[in-house]
Structure 1
Amino acid sequence: MAPGARPVYLRAGDVLCAAGRGAAAAAEACLQQSTHPARIEFSSLGVPVQLPYFRIDGARGAPDADLLRLARDVIDAAQIDDARRRRMGLFLGTSSGGIAQHEHDYAEAVARDPDALAIFNPDQSRSATRLYSALGLQGPNFTLSTACSSAANALLYATWAVREGHVDDALVVGIEFENRVSQQGFHSLLLATRELSRPFDLRRDGIMLGEGAAVAVISRDPPRRGPVWRLRGGGTFCDTTHPTNPSAAQIAHTIRLALTDAGVAAEQIGAIKAHGTGTRANDLSEGLGLREVFGERVPPFTTIKPVLGHTLGACGLLETLAFAACLDRGRIPATRHFEQPDPEIGIAPLTAPAPWTGGPVLLNTFGFGGNNCALVLERDGC
């Protein structure tokens, strides 16, 4: 972090995911490995398909309404005065954008008229536009859609905006609600597992998707109570070597950018939340990238996607809040379903919860198209 730059704090945050409502519920699920995926069904080229999917439990209304309720609760929890609320910037990250809402609206339209047109005015910034208006915000308004790193990049750009004095506070949002476009897309790419999510395991065979929403307020001022987490910085980098197969060298480069921006040396990192999707290419590249940065002394690392699902554009923020809540309980969660090390990767994630002894933590998020992002967080007093 540059001399004179303002510190940036996680002021408040909340999540909605397969583990339920709240970062505490998500953390407990990660530590106890207590969630269970549902089964979704669809037809692909006339062939019936069943896949596991981490769905948010309970009857819900339209996705936009769920998101607005979550955002209002987080803003209230941040305890920021009305004048600063209005000046707050909005940084929203999403992979599927408004597709879930479009599918919801289309189903209602078809129920009224079987000849209804499919989608009117598709717009990736739809959710941000509605949130911005409903919350009465007047600060900057950004939608970032960089595949699976969308919410991580939203958090990073918001951090830079607060750190450099462009805004005092920022509302950061990551969303990924259930939609058939994403489900069928990953199935068609042969990247969706039909059984178990096994990141870094020799037998890994694909992603298990899930839905989720996460909202956080980050601020120049620390929270008034509870643990104090600082966003030290991060790095974002587009790997142009291949559209879908990540490069270990470019992942290492992204991590080094994050460490430099945060002013943290590699040997200071106390824990790593890996991206860990469970695909052969991603886990191999991430593992080799970690070894390139940390050598033979890679800090304890894990991935929580086998518990919460791969929430795509939301995962960068959702997993940040869940992982921080795990560490607040003094433990780093294990990687669910990991059993057989892959000798090509050469390192293995935690197979049982481990004590967290403090220090800055690294959070990796990588997406299609080479959209890499890494973040560094630190809890005051640890």
Structure 2
Amino acid sequence: MPKPRAAVISGVGACNGLGLDAPALVAALAEQRQADYQPYFPDEREAARLGMPFNPLQVAMPALVKGRRSDAPTALALLQRVIDEALQHAGLGPEALAGPRVQLYIGGQGVQPEVMEFTAYLQRNDQEDLQLNPTLKQMHSDNYAEERLGRLLMQHYQLAMPPLALSTASCSSMSALYLASKAIESGRADIAVVASWQQVTLYNMVFMGGLNALARSVSQPFSAATEGVMLGGGVAATVLESPEHLATRGGKGRLRIDGFAMCQSGGSSRGGQSFSPDFRSISRTIDDSLAQAEVSAEQVGCIFMHGNGIRGSDQAELMAVRKVWGDNGIPAVSYKAQFGYQVAASGLTDLAILADAMQQQRLLAFRAQAPLDNAAGVQLHADSEPLPLVSDKVVKLALGIEGSVAACTLARLA
């Protein structure tokens, strides 16, 4: 039986290079389309000048104004657009967020400075430099911190409580979803909105390139040919409600969160985690989520994997799934090769696709850019017709570079 106050997902929204809203994204996936990858730098020479071994590809966010990659007004506009979409999907208006029992969570990178600008700031910090280089004044934390983004959203939606922001790499949006679900379950909130924003910046490219995690030409989850990730920009949002609030307003629930487990696996003295997480930690987290939901592995219809194209991470995830499901051939998907690895926004983007899959009771195949591994016990649902979903249970996995693992068991609501 589900928890008495289990959080209900009533609305979702998404925007990225493959679809400007969740329905457009799902339609593109149904046609097995792929977003356009573009070189991040103008040419190879510019990439080499900045220390990159090659000019990496990205899926750019089409809604951004050219030349304004990471400023707070742009991030604010994107988040408002997708939050409003999720609210509309839930049958709510923006005014619903002005109530006293509403909490907004922001998962992701926040608003980051371009790394080269930040380096210049470190080198030019006296008064004369500031006078000669006025753009350095914009490097103040007020212009980039997540707190400012939170304040702007608080003003726009007239929130009674400040948004809560957190960043745990590629697991941040799922970590925020976890906190939001617990706020609903505990009775502290009637409505919780989780939003995440990820734009590809030079900081992202330098960081991932320094870890040798960027692909030159092939990025395909669960393929031996994959070279790493190709980054993409994206925004996604999810609306959660308590069953009581949903019933009182006569709203329609999409999914119910029956089990949600998280763990911190490993880490290092340098503050990070390798791209080869411990598969046993992943499998234990899945088991904990299923136990909370009081369902067996056999009752789950499909699993939305993290699957980012980094070989070690993908292999650990496959091993964990095989450990939990054995040779039962659980259908598994990851669409990141089609719209880019959105890092912090990946989890909520998958949730928007997942909500549609459960509502339509079919699982869309992902398009494989390279031959997939012959992984015994895992049915990678790729390059084929939609798969009918008989079960009303699904699991969503997420991994973070710093070692966080999230497993969420959801149930379809009729």
Q: TM-score, normalised by structure 2?
A: 0.82
Match of residue 265 from structure 1: 296
The answer on 1:40 being equivalent to 2:40 is: yes
Q: Distance in 2 between matches of 1:366 and 1:84?
A: 30
Alpha-carbon contact 1:198-1:336 (below 8 Å) kept = no
Alpha-carbon contact 2:329-2:379 (below 8 Å) kept = no
Alignment equivalent of 2:391, drawn from 349, 355, 358: 358
Alpha-carbon contact 2:255-2:412 (below 8 Å) kept = yes
Q: Distance in 1 between matches of 2:205 and 2:256?
A: 35
Alignment equivalent of 2:135, drawn from 111, 116, 137: 116
Other structure's SS at 2:203 match? helix
How has the CA–CA distance of structure 1 residues 130 and 327 changed in structure 2, closer, same or farther, with 3 Å as cutoff? same
- Deviation for aligned residue 1:348: 4.7
Q: TM-score, normalised by structure 1?
A: 0.88
Q: What's the CA shift string for 1:324-373, capped at 9, x where partnerless?
A: 22343343122322653435776451122322223211011101111111
Greater Cα radius of gyration, structure 1 or 2: 2
Q: Distance in 2 between matches of 1:127 and 1:249?
A: 37
Alignment equivalent of 1:90, drawn from 85, 104, 119: 104
Other structure's SS at 1:93 match? strand
Match of residue 23 from structure 1: 22
Q: Mark the runs of 5 or more structure 2 residues left unpaired by the alignment.
A: 66-72, 121-128
- Deviation for aligned residue 1:63: 2.0
User: CA RMSD of the aligned region, Å?
Assistant: 3.0
Q: Distance in 1 between matches of 2:388 and 2:2?
A: 32
Match of residue 62 from structure 2: 57
Match of residue 81 from structure 2: 69
Q: Distance in 2 between matches of 1:172 and 1:7?
A: 16
The answer on 1:379 being equivalent to 2:393 is: no
The answer on 1:10 being equivalent to 2:9 is: yes
- Deviation for aligned residue 1:314: 1.0
Alpha-carbon contact 1:29-1:307 (below 8 Å) kept = no
Alpha-carbon contact 1:159-1:233 (below 8 Å) kept = no
Instruction: Name whichever of 96-105 and 326-335 sits farther off.
Output: 96-105
- Deviation for aligned residue 1:124: 3.6
Match of residue 228 from structure 1: 254
Q: Distance in 2 between matches of 1:295 and 1:224?
A: 42
Q: Distance in 2 between matches of 1:74 and 1:363?
A: 19
Q: What's the CA shift string for 1:113-165, capped at 9, x where partnerless?
A: 74532621152443223212321111463112111010011112111111221
Q: What's the CA shift string for 1:260-315, capped at 9, x where partnerless?
A: 22232211110111111111110100000001111111411110111221111111
Question: Identity across aligned pairs (percent)?
Answer: 24
Alignment equivalent of 1:304, drawn from 335, 342, 346: 335
* AA aligned opposite 1:38: Q
- Deviation for aligned residue 1:323: 2.4
Q: Distance in 2 between matches of 1:8 and 1:311?
A: 25
How has the CA–CA distance of structure 1 residues 380 and 270 changed in structure 2, closer, same or farther, with 3 Å as cutoff? same
Q: Distance in 2 between matches of 1:339 and 1:43?
A: 26
Match of residue 280 from structure 1: 311
How has the CA–CA distance of structure 1 residues 6 and 346 changed in structure 2, closer, same or farther, with 3 Å as cutoff? closer
Match of residue 248 from structure 1: 279
Instruction: Name whichever of 130-139 and 272-281 sits farther off.
Output: 130-139
* AA aligned opposite 2:25: A
Other structure's SS at 1:62 match? helix
Other structure's SS at 1:116 match? helix
Q: Distance in 2 between matches of 1:74 and 1:113?
A: 45
